[in-house]
Amino acid sequence: MFLYGDIPNEWKIKPYLPLMPIFWQFYQELGWKRTTEYFKVCQDSAYDFFEDRLNESIKTSEQVLRGKIDRPDQVLSYVIVIPPVTIRSDLIQGTTKLLGGDSFDVTWVALDDVTQEIFILLNAHCEDGVPVDWWMVRSDDELLDRRHLKLGYKIKNLPIRMKNFDKAASRIFDVLSDVRNERTPWWAQSYYTVSIVWVSYAVELFIQGSNYETLTKIYDGWAARMMYGLPEYLFSMHSNLPSVVGNMFYGGKESIVSKIGQLTTGGHLYYQPIEERTLKMHTARTPEIVDLISRRVMENGVPFPIQSLQSTMPNIKKKSEPDTRFKVKYPSNDFINMEDMGLTFDEVIQGVYFDITIKTQPGEKLDESRVLSKGIGSKTKFTTLT
């Protein structure tokens, strides 16, 4: 087993590993070299990953508006405002407008974990609660050489030059607002939000599986400094829109996770998929991560929503136990057994929507009747007649 102290200090995300249980387990089992190789796979697959997700989101939203999707309350898509989170098709328009406004852009800025330079920019635009357009910029794009008019720094270096994520997000917002207005002048008056996140933390969120586990980890990232005494947030947002999401954070973990869970899946558990092209690349180049996820799902089980809601971090500052102080604590370890519902890992990893909510208690009977649909978007297959 590899130890925390063996991780090079140059890895900026090192202090935040307590909030990244999948990567922590991956590192413990396989070491630093293999972990960095997996990050490279994630970088190489980023465009395909987001292309599949965003195009599917746009396609699903269009089909819902045209009335071409049966049972939209059992067909899942993605939340443009919060990319790692999925949403029921019948809730897309209302929830998106509530969280982002009638017309808005959101740009997610992912930072390299070592250099702290911008690795990728992902921008999406929504009109009347529906995603309509997106674009992405990689680390080698000349756009990242554009300079802040007042400070003179290249945009790719702003996260390094600024003292913290909040200031970096604000300065990047200055530059990207102009870029947005130049690219799409017809949306120049739309609301705009910029969010900064570490690449490894973004990947951690995308491979969590359970929508409720993802939401709790998002809260932990926001609370990293305030709740856990870490040097910085794991992500930060800057916007000209009064932030509904931002205000929700101050209500605490149970409050925001419950609210976003209701707004996105009506309080139901959804095991979020890894897209086919991305899964194939990860299986071919780093099969260990797929094996790890499989073991976490099929052997350990998936926490019930109520368990995720009530989970807590141990005292991560307890340095006398450097390699056990990162373990997430749940009210019990009586997790969801996928085999009880007749599911294989190959089915789960493609997405499954359950009749399991925050009211469902550990110990309740789980069988195939709890599976409402499989897949995501246009690939959804229903498991019941109605």
> DSSP readout, 238-288?
EESS--HHHHHHTT-HHHHHHHHHHHHHTTEEEE----HHHHHHHHHH-HH
Predicted pLDDT of residue 106:
92
Q: In the chain, pLDDT over 90 holds for what percent of residues? A: 53
State mean pLDDT over 140-154. Answer: 92
Pick the closest to residue 19 from 164, 169, 168, 231 (CA basis): 231
Q: Is 183 helix (H, G, I), strand (E, B) or coil?
A: helix
Q: Evaluate if residue 132 carries a pLDDT over 60.
A: yes
pLDDT digit string, tens, across residues 324-336? 667 888 998 899 9
Three-state helix/strand/coil letters over 274-340: CCHHHHHHHHHHCHHHHHHHHHHHHHHCECCHHHHHCCECCCCCCCCCCCCCCCCECCCCCCECHHH
Judged by average pLDDT, the poorest of 114-118, 152-156, 208-212, 347-351 is 114-118
Indicate the pairing of strand 381-382 with strand 371-374: antiparallel
Q: Give the pLDDT of residue 274.
A: 92
Per-residue pLDDT reduced to its tens digit, 286-320: 999 999 999 999 999 999 999 999 998 766 666 66
Give the pLDDT confidence score for residue 83 in this predicted structure: 81
Could you tell me the sign of the dihedral formed by the alpha carbons of 300, 302, 305, 311, in that order?
A: positive
Tell me the pLDDT tens digit for each residue of 210-227: 999 999 999 988 888 887
The residue among 157, 165, 161 whose CA lies nearest residue 225 is: 165
Q: What is the pLDDT of residue 247?
A: 78
Domain count for the chain? 1
Q: Summarize the confidence of residues 3-23 as an average pLDDT.
A: 86
Angle between helices 276-285 and 21-44 (to 10 degrees): 100
pLDDT band at 56; cut points 50, 70, 90: confident
Whole-number Cα distances in Å, 162 to 109, 143, 233? 15, 19, 14
The domain containing residue 207 runs over which residues? 1-386
Q: Which of 352, 358, 42 is nearest to 215 (CA)?
A: 358
pLDDT bracket for residue 189 (50, 70, 90): very high
Q: Indicate the residue type of 367.
A: D
Dihedral sign for Cα atoms in the order 25, 30, 35, 37? negative
The helix (run of H) or strand (run of E) holding residue 194 is strand 191-198
Q: What would the mean pLDDT of 49-76 be, rounded to a whole number?
A: 87
Query: What pLDDT was estimated at residue 322?
Result: 59
| Average pLDDT over all residues of the chain | 89
Give the pLDDT confidence score for residue 223 in this predicted structure.
85
Residue 243 pLDDT grade (very low, low, confident, very high; cuts 50, 70, 90)? low
Short-list 378, 254, 324, 361, CA closest to 4 = 324
What pLDDT band is residue 14 in, cutting at 50, 70 and 90? confident
Tokens of 120: 């990728």
pLDDT digits (tens, 9 = 90+) for 257-271: 999 999 999 999 999
